[in-house]
A = this chain, B = another copy of it.
Amino acid sequence: MPIKEGDVVILYLNENRQYIVKISRGATYSFNEGMVKADDILGKNYGEFVVTHIGIKLRILRPTLVDTVYRLFRRCTQVIYPKDAALIALKANIGPGSVVVEAGTGSGYLTAILAHFVCPTGIVYSYEIRREFFEMAKRNLELLGLGDCVVLKEKDVRKGIDEREVDAVILDIPDPWNALSNAYESLKSGGVLACFLPTLNQVEKTVEEARRLGYLMIESEELLERRYKVKLGESRPETRMIGHTGYLVFARRP
């Protein structure tokens, strides 16, 4: 399928130099390797090359969702990592057709990932109270063309959740314990609550409140991701590592 207006593509020089752009007729993109015209990319197939004005060949690659979200989205907040987003999606039982409530939207990274898994038959309602994040998330999510699968709401999840019988509620806010009662009301029986929390003190408060409200099957955990440099006979973990992103708490409405 040839590349068309609105597609997002990676322009690949080598493992260390890659660019990601959204194709917009008439646009010109400028890199260290020279300029590339969108019109020279339109109609080509993925895997083909485009040549910059100074003659450097860049390969046109199809991005994954993770590429688009983590390389093309702007960010105005600490964003969730793929490792955490993926486990939330799986353990919160999210899949095609799921109806999910999320707060806060932040830069929209997790929103995009959740929407990817529920679309086109499911829907993600994402709550955000800070106007500038709301706007940035909106622009970010438009890059993905998720259409009706995401509904951004400029509302405070701690003051109320409009939706009922939802499959999952995902909270990435500083004080989720203040939204757990609303989440309980919103969830269907068996629905999953998932919280992302930077500190263990927040985990304690969240778990205590979840227990008080009658949530069951409460689990707390964290994931550590270790990347490897692989070379025959010399493979080793990378020296630098992300030592902490946040803790995950899962619970169920009975």
Contact = CB atoms under 8 A, between A and B. Distances in A.
A238 B228 contact: no
A1 to B, nearest CB: 9
A199 B233 CA distance: 8
A46 B189 contact: yes
Given A12-B254, A15-B216, A45-B189, A204 B232 contact: yes
Contacts of A59: 216, 254
A85 B87 CA distance: 9
Contacts of A121: 96
A164 interface: no
B85 A66 contact: no
B221 A226 contact: yes
Contacts of A64: 91-93, 190, 192
By CB atoms of chain B within 10 A, which of A118, A121, A208, A241 has the most?
A241
Contacts of A218: 15, 230
B227 A243 contact: yes
A198 B64 CA distance: 26
A2 B219 CA distance: 27
A65 interface: yes
Contacts of A173: none
A72 to B, nearest CB: 15
Interface residues of A, number: 79
A117 B15 CA distance: 29
A77 interface: no
Given A45-B189, A224-B226, A90 B86 contact: yes
Interface of A: 12, 15, 18, 45-47, 59, 61-66, 82-83, 85-87, 89-93, 95-96, 113, 116-121, 188-190, 192, 198-201, 203-204, 207-208, 216-245, 247, 249, 252-254
28 contacts: A12-B217, A12-B254, A15-B216, A47-B189, A61-B189, A61-B252, A63-B190, A64-B93, A65-B95, A66-B93, A82-B90, A86-B90, A95-B117, A96-B117, A198-B236, A200-B235, A201-B233, A203-B230, A204-B232, A221-B227, A223-B226, A224-B224, A236-B244, A237-B243, A239-B244, A240-B240, A240-B242, A241-B244
